[in-house]
Amino acid sequence: MPNSADPVRSQRVGGRGQTRTAPFDLAAFADTYEPRDQQRWSEVQATVRECVGRSGVVAYPSAHRLTRALTGLAVHCVEQGVPLDVERMLHPDRVEAFIASLGELKARSDWRADLYRLGRKLTKKAPYRPKLEVGRRPPHEPYTDDELAALRRVISNQGTPHRVQSGIGLFLLGLGAGLDGRWAPFIRPDQVWRTSGGVVVVQAEAPHARRVPVDPLVADDLIAMAERTRTDCLVGAYSTSSNRAYQLVNAIQVPQGLPELSLRRLRSTWIARQLIVGMPVPHLIDAGGLETTARLAEMLPYVRRAIGLPEWATERRP
């Protein structure tokens, strides 16, 4: 299948202390995408770029994966003599025939899901079954200010220096930068610094490598911790364990009746706080390593509760 070079993504400009991240631009991505394998690309590029541009995806990883899948499907159609008409190309039977031709490719299930989602969006006649409404898990509720204060006191009073260090590190990275178990256990001290403009930032690595501005609520605490930490990572020694976050969180002893340490709740708290202070949504999607706006929508009830209603919504009509 065609493999793509990395086209326009959330762009990084400059070196350490100077890099800035631009919001992902789907239109620019679609217009400039070029696969590494150029075979038959000239025959399918117009259709691929048009469909990707209409897909509505909001982050580079989703757009990149969808474009690879769609390019493969379009080439498959050309080879089978199927016109590159959206209704015929994205017909579910044609998608299934293409997926079957991939053999044991690891990405096949993701590609099928992406193409089905695109087919439902762009086609009008293709016989897609209505998508079943699956009950979503309730969002992880943000911590209240009182819960955050209590949780920090508990972490600071753990029985060993290691548990204090790991607990505080997870707490500051989760609350300050929205980093959960995918990133927080692996952040090194040199991945935290203050820019020339005075903003404390964290450089998160894969998945979704990006630079995250730290919430001023804990920015000074995080930079101070990074400066005094002598271990490989802020939370202690480096580990390759896939359960590292669970192991560290599970070691924190919390008295009954107080909130447990949850990286997911800390991440929700960070997202809600950024919405409250008015971080632009494109910047928040990039900084949070998000692929859709679903998590943002889940936080809206908590944001409304925090900011209240504007005057124009409550003033009596004259």
Average pLDDT over residues 203-214: 92
Residues 296 and 150 occupy one common structural domain: yes
| Inter-CA distances, 121 with 52, 125, 158, 202, 306, Å | 11, 11, 52, 37, 35
Residues 159 and 227 occupy one common structural domain: yes
Residues 214 and 297 occupy one common structural domain: yes
Question: How open is the CA angle 104-1-97, to the nearest 5 degrees?
Answer: 60
2 assigned to some structural domain: no
262 assigned to some structural domain: yes
CATH number at residue 240: 1.10.443.10
pLDDT in tens, 27-84: 888 888 888 878 888 899 999 999 998 988 888 888 889 999 999 999 999 999 999 9
Residues 289 and 172 occupy one common structural domain: yes
30 assigned to some structural domain: yes
Residue span of the structural domain in which 35 resides = 12-16+23-122
Residues 172 and 68 occupy one common structural domain: no
Residue whose C-alpha is closest to residue 207's, from 108, 62, 106: 62
Total structural domains within the chain: 2
pLDDT in tens, 125-161: 888 876 655 555 677 899 999 999 999 999 999 999 9
Write the DSSP string, the chain: ---B---S-S-EESSTTT-EEPPP-HHHHHHH--BS--TTHHHHHHHHHHHHHTS---SHHHHHHHHHHHHHHHHHHHHHT----HHHHT-HHHHHHHHHTTTT-TTHHHHHHHHHHHHHHH-SSS-PPPPP-PPPPPP-PPPPHHHHHHHHHHHHT-SSHHHHHHHHHHHHHHHHH---TTTGGG--GGGEEE-TTS-EEEEE-SSS-EEEEPPTTTHHHHHHHHHH--SSBTTBS----TTHHHHHHHH----TTSPPP-HHHHHHHHHHHHHHHT--HHHHHHHHT-SSSHHHHHHHHHHHHHH---HHHHSPP-
Max intra-chain CA distance, the chain: 70
Q: What is the pLDDT of residue 20?
A: 44
Q: Which residues touch 295 (CB under 8 Å, ≥6 apart)?
A: 139, 268, 271, 288
Residues 93 and 196 occupy one common structural domain: no
Residues 163 and 281 occupy one common structural domain: yes
Residues 115 and 33 occupy one common structural domain: yes
pLDDT in tens, 217-252: 999 999 999 999 999 999 998 888 878 899 999 999
What pTM does this model have? 0.60
Per-residue pLDDT for 4 more than 90?
A: no
Per-residue pLDDT for 17 more than 60?
A: no
State residue 106 phi and psi, 5-degree precision. Answer: -60, -30
Question: How open is the CA angle 234-238-244, to the nearest 5 degrees?
Answer: 90
Residues 181 and 252 occupy one common structural domain: yes
d(CA 54, CA 186): 37
